[in-house]
């Protein structure tokens, strides 16, 4: 998935109030960017670290800049949580994810569960309905290991429970972890950060929920699906 416009480089001054980040551009100007990521962004919020922003020409927006990419050392990391849903939907539609091929109907944001919306809903005459929940992964504290979540996620736990419910109703359910970085080979739940979520993931899998994890190739030009990750669950 290519970015619509060229990203603007800068250095992080600070992230605050969860949805805001001050960034110093290369000409010394400091701008405030919108941050879509509701997690802690652990490992990505060090003052002075490289960032890349997109710029919108929509006059109705309060903030014209959005934080798209951060850096963990020398690794570029996609931080916009709107990207995974778009990217995974496009890759499923293109038939590029082997475990999710063969469906004739592919929809986004379909109501299900308890006042929830599934990220991707798949249907075909010769297959059972498939519900795909997508999570954006940015955290890596050990070499090659992607982790989720980076903060306590009660909402994420709820989604796991609802996916399990779908399986017990006779459907297929998939938890898809899209790691927006290219330096990982294994995915694990961050047990020390949210042990409730980690346990909920184990329970969901015993109920029949499938888990898929992929890494991404991340550059200021675009973010693209890379390779499947091993599961260390």
Tens of pLDDT, residues 45-103: 999 999 999 999 998 899 999 999 999 999 999 999 999 999 999 999 999 999 999 99
Query: What DSSP string describes 150-215?
Result: SS--HHHHHHHHHHHHHHHTT-EEEEEEEESSSS-SEEEE-TTT-HHHHHHHHHHHHTT-EEEEEE
d(CA 106, CA 231): 26
Tens of pLDDT, residues 113-150: 888 899 999 999 999 999 999 999 999 999 999 999 99
Instruction: Give residue 87's pLDDT.
Output: 98
Arch. (CATH architecture) of 83-231: 3-Layer(aba) Sandwich (3.40)
Where are the domains positioned within the chain?
Answer: 8-78, 83-231
When the pLDDT of each residue in the chain is averaged and rounded to a whole number, the result is 97
Exposed / middle / buried, residue 91 (Cβ in 10 Å: 0-12, 13-18, 19+):
middle
CATH of domain 8-78: 2.40.50.580
Instruction: Give residue 115's pLDDT.
Output: 81
């Amino acid at each position: 998935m290519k970015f619509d416009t060229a990203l603007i480089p800068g250095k992080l001054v600070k992230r605050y109030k969860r949805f805001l980040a001050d960034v110093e551009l290369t000409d010394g100007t400091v701008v405030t960017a919108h941050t879509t990521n509701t997690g802690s962004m652990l490992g990505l919020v060090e003052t002075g670290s490289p960032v890349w922003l997109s710029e919108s020409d929509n006059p109705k927006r309060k903030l014209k800049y959005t934080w798209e990419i951060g850096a963990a050392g020398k690794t570029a990391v996609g931080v916009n949580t709107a990207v995974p849903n778009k990217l995974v939907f496009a890759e499923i539609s293109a038939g590029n994810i082997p475990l999710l091929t063969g469906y004739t109907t592919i929809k986004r944001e379909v109501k299900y569960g308890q006042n929830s919306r599934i990220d991707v809903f798949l249907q075909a005459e010769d297959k059972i309905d498939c519900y795909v929940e997508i999570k954006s992964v940015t955290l890596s504290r050990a070499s090659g290991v992607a982790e989720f979540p980076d903060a306590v996620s009660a909402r994420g736990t709820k989604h796991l429970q609802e996916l399990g419910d779908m399986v017990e109703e006779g459907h297929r359910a998939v938890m898809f972890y899209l790691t927006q970085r290219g330096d990982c080979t294994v995915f694990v739940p961050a047990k020390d950060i949210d042990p409730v979520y980690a346990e909920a993931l184990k329970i969901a899998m015993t109920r029949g929920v499938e888990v898929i994890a992929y890494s991404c190739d991340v550059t200021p030009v675009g973010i693209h699906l890379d390779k499947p990750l091993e599961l260390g669950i």
